[in-house]
Amino acid sequence: MELEVEKEGPKGGKPGQGVKSLYQPALAQQFFKTYGKPESFVAGKTIFVENEGAANVFSAGSKMYLLVDGDVTLSIGKKPIGVVARGEVFGEMASITHLPRSATATARGPSTVLAMDEKQFQNAMAKAPEFALMLANIIIYRLRETVSVLTAAGKLTEKSQWNRAAIFDRKLLADLQREFEDKPPQLHHLNKVIMKEGDKGVFMYVVLEGVVAVTIQERPVEKIGPGGIVGEMALVDQSARIATAVAETDCTLLAINRNDFMDLVKGKPAFAMGLLKALAERLRFMTAKYN
């Protein structure tokens, strides 16, 4: 699995065996074979270019790919950072986040891929949500790995820039509230601790009103406003909380347990897409702190 922006970590470090163990080649190949479209590239042909979509012209139509045959290299600033192996996915970050490409992909030899744009991906997730969950698990693993490295290196400080969390649009937010009419939103007053680092994750939360501040080892990393989500990582990978969340203002939150969360991922592709977008943007933000 080649998360394009995370091919290299600090000082050129690469993802460990943990990512590879989470990636399910058969699931990815079946997903792309069923819902993707084949494309071919001659040797030397550029598949996508670093910073493509910087003017928001192309990013909304960005494609993700699975390499069927051939050789594809990834580079940043003309510096090679890795090679995509057959059966691996690449280019998915821009398609999920609508942000510019973080790397350039080039066919080193004649290559065949299965390509999928965002609309095709969202439609496919409605029929095969297992792929979205696999992708979410991989991104979360990379997030946990990144936070661990940043913490050890002292890169998280009081002066760190806050991330502004991705949010669900109003339509999806209203849809979620209707979905959980029998589970009233919870009011959390100013300075109320919503979740604590190291705790077991029982709920994720959707912010309906107010602002939630997120810290890691008492270092600020994120502010989450209406439509944003917090606590989803522990529901996906069922590991301990990586951060603490505190109500920065009086907040109204929708609490979602794991069973309801899994039903949403399987039944509402827009929710799954929003989840992946939030995770991917967090990973990009945290990875940028390496520099």
CATH of domain 130-288: 2.60.120.10
Rounded Cα distance, 277 and 160, in Å: 22
Rounded Cα distance, 110 and 41, in Å: 6
> What local confidence, expressed as pLDDT, does residue 6 receive?
42
CA distances from residue 252 to 165, 189, 211, 227, 248 in whole angstroms, order as listed: 17, 9, 9, 11, 12
In 3D space, the residue among 104, 119, 137, 144 whose CA is nearest the CA of residue 21 turns out to be: 137
The residue extents of the domains of the chain are 4-126, 130-288
Residue pLDDT tens, the chain, 291 long: 444 434 444 444 444 556 778 899 999 999 999 999 999 999 999 999 988 765 443 444 589 999 999 999 999 988 998 899 999 999 988 888 878 888 899 999 999 999 998 888 888 988 898 999 999 999 999 888 888 888 888 877 766 666 776 678 888 899 999 999 999 999 999 999 999 999 998 999 999 999 999 999 888 888 899 999 999 998 888 889 999 999 999 999 999 999 999 899 888 888 998 899 888 888 888 887 765
> What local confidence, expressed as pLDDT, does residue 151 receive?
83
Element (H, E) at 61: none
Q: What CATH class has 4-126?
A: mainly beta
Q: What is the pTM of this model?
A: 0.83
Q: What is the largest CA-CA distance in the chain?
A: 60
Rounded Cα distance, 54 and 35, in Å: 27
Rounded Cα distance, 222 and 214, in Å: 5
Same fold, 4-126 and 130-288: yes
> What local confidence, expressed as pLDDT, does residue 114 receive?
97
